[in-house]
Amino acid sequence: MYQSRQAFFNQTDGSEQLRLSEILGAFSYALDLTEGQPAGHSIRACWIGTQIAMALGLKGAALRDVYYAVLLKDLGCSSNAARVSEMFVGDDRKLKHDFKLIGPRPEDFGAFLGSAVGVGADPEIRDQALGNLAENVGEIMTDIMATRCSRGADIARRLRLSEDVAQAIAHLDEHWDGGGLPLGLSGADIHLGGRIALLAQVADVFYSARGKDAALDEIRNRAGSWLDPQLCALFEKLSETSGFWEELALDDLPEQLWALEPAEEYINVDEDYLDDICFAFGYVIDAKSPDTAGHSARVGMIADQIGEKLGMGAESRRVLRRAAILHDVGKLGVSSAILEKPGKLDSQEWETMRAHAALTTNILGQIGVMSGMAMIAGSHHERLDGKGYPLGLDERSIAMESRIITVADIYDALTADRPYRAAMSSEKAMDILQEEVGSAVDEQCFKALQTVIEQGLLE
């Protein structure tokens, strides 16, 4: 019979209220990783955007919607990562970071292509990529931006946020003069939240990379073309107030940001809502790779079934399921050039890939209500024989919850289609797992999965 670990079940007893802003603010650090931005980019952009919204006189639900739209503007960023890496032949995280620092003119984009595409790649591959971009750049960029914006809006809805938040995220890459993507909207047809989010993004990207003067210069340079000129003027006025830039650099900026959320619009999170948040971020994780759609949710479901067979109660399984769904959140910090590489990884690439497990632990460890399961989720590549990663734990220190997630993860990976092979049958997958019993796979978990399969609970 399964014996629960108190440290794992770090749940609320109803006496503590979980605020949505704090949970999603902590998750936003994972979005920063995916975009190749310095940690806290989404937090800083949200603080800037909220200052602008308050200066506009927005209050209540309208202010809350801008707050969440800017904080979560990059919800869809993982969905175009593989496409960016493929089309531009490189590290999507670096490409995205550098792309945001180019100027607003067409020639700036041309210079970016010449310097960023295919860095380190075979010259023939680089030339092919440049030729394809030169011929099809409009279609490619529209597709990349449409994927990001539509997926981001969809995930916002899954997070139970308002349609205004979803529309603001959908309009993030539209420009005031109509030159943006993917819809070519202009002026006031662009959702106000989207206009504020783009301005806040530009401001923080240049502030973080080059300082406040560079940020102000870029806002001025893009006023009336990329950016709403009235918002730009308001931002410039705000930036002249005492302490604006100093506050943006404070270590406790996240706590100050939570305090800016309209008090009458606090969104408290119960256990069902927390489940929905985990499922939504499972979509963010799986979107990083075209071949992992549904993987996180399936691992969560399989782990839940195994846990039941091992005697875990409903509430314990609920937390286990969350950890299983989020086990690969660290992959948001790994380049798609590595995740999608068709051949064998070299030693440096393999070390980067292995780092995703530790990143999972670090990301979940920042989320108070999930900190108790951070180590559980991040240990899914540990082995009973001590030859796993990231810590080389062995059977003496690997929690049963991690062992469950390991079995569920391997089984789902083997029985799903991959570019290099078709999905294996359940029988073949179980044969492979059985060979690993006692070394990588826990025998109790394996037998529980056998029972689940025999009872048809995965069909």
Q: Give the H or E element holding residue 269.
A: strand 268-269
Contact 71, 64 (CB under 8 A): no
Give the other-Cβ count within 10 Å of 396's Cβ: 7
Secondary structure class of 268 (helix, strand, coil): strand
Contact 403, 440 (CB under 8 A): no
Tell me how many degrees the CA angle 38-280-159 measures, rounded to the nearest 5: 95
Secondary structure class of 2 (helix, strand, coil): coil
> What end-to-end distance do the CA atoms of the chain give, in Å?
26
* 22 Cβ contact partners less than 8 Å away, ≥ 6 residues apart: 258, 368
Tell me how many degrees the CA angle 33-255-100 measures, rounded to the nearest 5: 30
Contact 40, 250 (CB under 8 A): no
Instruction: Give me the active site residues, please.
Output: 331
- Bridge-partner residues for 269, per DSSP? 18
**What sign has the CA pseudo-torsion 247, 251, 253, 259?**
negative
Secondary structure class of 135 (helix, strand, coil): helix
Residue matched to tokens 């960029």: 141
**What is the C-alpha separation between 320 and 329, in angstroms, rounded?**
15
